[in-house]
């Protein structure tokens, strides 16, 4: 049975050279540690002859499983030639490399080779020069994976090749990545960002992106930043920064990279090729959160529509595979590509979902017509500003009647309407309807806004908008501006009243700032109940005050 496999840049090799390399790969090395010095010296001669680096992958028994010709270009190609048997991989691999670029003053692995070698996850990596010094010694260096090092590798020993071939690693403790607890199945995520000239703004945007990752069930493990300059249209980030990112992915055992910029399909493919890791942009992350939060049939319908519209231009298909179209005259031949079939299937599904969304819009319009006699108020604001908590504090006296209110981004997707009863002396309570709507966020994906238009109509058709802002958030001013901009882009003409929430947790400077922006702001705390009675009195005056007594309720907007 053939144990070793010769791969890499083998096309230009003569048959005699291939046979010589195969004989070298069949030579056995000491078990578990060290290497056969004579084999490595002959390997060095072949490196000089071929002017190509050579790499040996040894298993725990000292058998060579792979002899790779050329640089370590891609971990996928390298790992594809290795056996997947757990028995053979249990003790780990040993990697041995001989390269012309290795010099006495440059023993550190090249960045790209270091990344691919980390994917192999060897116990040790022996690197040596093919040429000898004046004393006849070949310089060599023994490395081991170390996530604490920037390069991902720590130097065990630098010495002559003969000494390192006899090196014992029994006393060497291999550092390990600190994993998440075994019961924690969250995905490890690396964040790739572009920072602008304003450092504080960039840090707040990064904190929001981390919040989105946690809301999606991920665990941010590292951040790679690059100053925003002239963008690279192929990847947005520079090649050097992407190599650093690829190394950080291996150091922190990240399984996903998320960017803070929206990417086109070409950029996603280029980034995944550079990083050898799945890549997701911010818009796709928000769509994923919406897909997790959608509980009702209407919510799932709108999320699926948004996802299909987002993924349609990013569809890759299955290469150049073809399928026959039929068996009649004019239908024989190569047929159409599988990609075109997938696109047509998605297009049909989108058309079906659009019909259902139109039915949903008509259904919500009928519901609003039934409530025509009651004033309608919509709670709007940035995500996680406290809208659901405010709705519970105002309208839900029973636990089973409360809506979900969690400290997560986009905890609420489906609009929920509750009746608010305001008691009055000498008569029955006054009644109005309050609707909790989906939260806003900066740069909300366009497919999501279009798909949720049926839900957002609850906001557009309301008589009054209560714009809830969380004063305890340091970025509340930018969040308030984002909400107003999104409402303007949706064409909202309803009256807006700013509600300053979390007044018991904010700084006094925030109270003064918002008072200077809007002197008519209403202050309250949905958690503690402070200011709720003042809001109810304000709503009563707004809809049933002296100015509105002689006018129809729906004319409050005019």
Ordered DSSP codes for 25-74? HTS---SSS---HHHHHHHHHHHHHHTS-EEEEE-TTS-EEEEEES----
Section 323-330 average pLDDT = 49
User: Is residue 28 within 8 Å of 62, Cβ to Cβ?
Assistant: yes
Reported confidence tier of residue 512, pLDDT bands at 50, 70, 90: very high
**How is residue 297 written in tokens?**
């049939």
Q: Report the C-alpha dihedral over residues 74, 75, 79, 80, rounded to 10 degrees.
A: -40
Query: What pLDDT digit, counting tens, does each position of 473-485 carry?
Result: 989 999 999 999 9
Distance between first and last Cα of the chain: 87
More confident position, 64 or 461? 64
Query: What pLDDT digit, counting tens, does each position of 45-99 carry?
Result: 999 999 999 999 998 888 999 999 988 876 667 777 777 644 444 457 899 999 8
Class of the CATH domain delimited by 187-280:
alpha beta
Residue among 214, 207, 203, 219 nearest 408 (CA)? 214
Q: Taking the domains of the chain in order of start, what are their residue ranges?
A: 6-165, 187-280, 372-557
What's the pLDDT score for residue 384? Answer: 86
Query: What pLDDT digit, counting tens, does each position of 193-231 carry?
Result: 999 888 888 999 999 999 999 988 899 999 999 988 877
User: Is residue 236 within 8 Å of 225, Cβ to Cβ?
Assistant: no
d(Cα 522, Cα 77) in Å, to the nearest integer?
A: 62
What's the pLDDT score for residue 103? Answer: 65
More confident position, 264 or 403? 264
Query: What pLDDT digit, counting tens, does each position of 127-185 carry?
Result: 999 988 877 888 899 999 988 888 889 999 999 998 999 876 544 444 444 444 444 57
| Fold classified for 6-165 | Cytidine Deaminase; domain 2 (3.40.140)
Residue among 129, 159, 165 nearest 35 (CA)? 165
What's the pLDDT score for residue 245? Answer: 93
Reported confidence tier of residue 105, pLDDT bands at 50, 70, 90: low
User: Is residue 405 within 8 Å of 428, Cβ to Cβ?
Assistant: no
Contacts 24+ apart (CB under 8 A), 43-47: 43/96, 43/98, 44/98, 44/128, 44/129, 44/130, 44/131, 44/138, 45/130, 46/17, 46/20, 46/21, 47/98, 47/99, 47/100, 47/130
Hey, do 187-280 and 372-557 end up sharing a CATH topology, with the first three levels equal? yes
What is the separation of C-alpha 443 from the centre of its chain, rounded to a whole number of angstroms? 16
Range 372-557: architecture per CATH: 3-Layer(aba) Sandwich (3.40)
What's the pLDDT score for residue 316? Answer: 64
């Amino acid at each position: 049975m053939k144990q070793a496999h010769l791969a890499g840049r083998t096309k230009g090799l003569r048959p005699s050279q291939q046979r010589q390399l195969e004989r070298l790969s069949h030579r056995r090395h000491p078990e578990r540690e060290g290497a056969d010095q004579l084999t490595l010296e002959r390997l060095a001669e072949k490196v000089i002859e071929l002017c190509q680096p050579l790499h040996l992958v040894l298993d725990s028994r000292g058998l060579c499983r792979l002899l790779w010709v050329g640089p370590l270009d891609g971990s996928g190609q390298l790992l594809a030639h290795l056996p997947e048997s757990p028995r053979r991989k249990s003790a780990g691999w040993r990697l041995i490399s001989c390269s012309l670029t290795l010099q006495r003053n440059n023993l550190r692995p090249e960045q790209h080779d270091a990344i691919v070698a980390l994917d192999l996850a060897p116990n040790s990596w022996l690197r040596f020069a093919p040429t000898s010094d004046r004393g006849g010694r070949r310089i060599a260096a023994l490395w081991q994976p170390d996530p604490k090092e920037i390069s991902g590798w720590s130097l065990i020993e630098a010495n002559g090749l003969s000494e390192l071939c006899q090196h014992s690693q029994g006393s060497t403790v291999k550092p390990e990545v600190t994993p998440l607890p075994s019961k924690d199945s969250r995905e490890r995520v690396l964040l790739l960002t572009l920072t602008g000239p304003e450092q504080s703004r960039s840090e707040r945007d990064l904190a929001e992106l981390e919040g989105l990752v946690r809301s999606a069930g991920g665990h941010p493990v590292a951040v790679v930043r690059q100053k925003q300059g002239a963008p690279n249209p192929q990847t947005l980030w520079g090649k050097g920064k992407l190599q650093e990112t690829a190394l950080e992915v291996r150091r922190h055992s990240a399984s996903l990279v998320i960017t803070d910029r929206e990417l086109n399909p070409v950029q996603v493919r280029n980034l995944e090729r550079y990083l050898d890791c799945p890549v997701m942009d911010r818009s796709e992350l928000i769509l994923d959160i919406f897909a997790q939060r959608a509980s009702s049939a209407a919510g799932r319908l709108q999320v699926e529509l948004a996802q299909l519209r987002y993924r349609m231009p990013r569809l890759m298909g299955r290469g150049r595979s073809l399928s026959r179209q039929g068996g009649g005259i004019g239908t024989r031949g190569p047929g159409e590509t599988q990609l075109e079939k997938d696109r047509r299937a998605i297009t049909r599904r989108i058309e079906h979902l659009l019909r259902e969304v139109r039915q949903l819009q008509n259904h919500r319009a009928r519901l609003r017509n039934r409530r025509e006699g009651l004033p309608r108020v919509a709670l709007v604001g940035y995500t996680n500003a406290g809208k659901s908590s405010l709705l519970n504090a105002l309208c839900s006296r029973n636990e089973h009647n409360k809506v979900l209110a969690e400290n997560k981004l986009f905890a609420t997707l489906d609009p929920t309407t509750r009746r608010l009863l305001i008691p009055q002396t000498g008569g029955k309570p006054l009644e109005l309807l309050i609707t909790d709507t989906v939260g806003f966020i900066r740069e909300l994906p366009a497919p999501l806004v279009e798909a949720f238009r049926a839900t957002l109509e609850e906001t557009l058709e309301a008589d009054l908008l209560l714009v809830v802002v969380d004063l305890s958030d340091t970025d509340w001013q930018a969040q308030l501006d984002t909400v107003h901009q999104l409402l303007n882009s949706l064409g909202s003409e309803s009256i807006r009243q700013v509600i300053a929430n979390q007044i018991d947790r904010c700084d006094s400077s925030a109270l003064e700032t918002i008072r200077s922006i809007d002197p008519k702001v209403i202050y309250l705390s949905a958690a503690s109940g402070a200011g709720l009675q003042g809001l109810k009195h304000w709503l009563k005056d707004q809809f049933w005050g002296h100015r509105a007594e002689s006018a129809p309720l729906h004319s409050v907007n005019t």
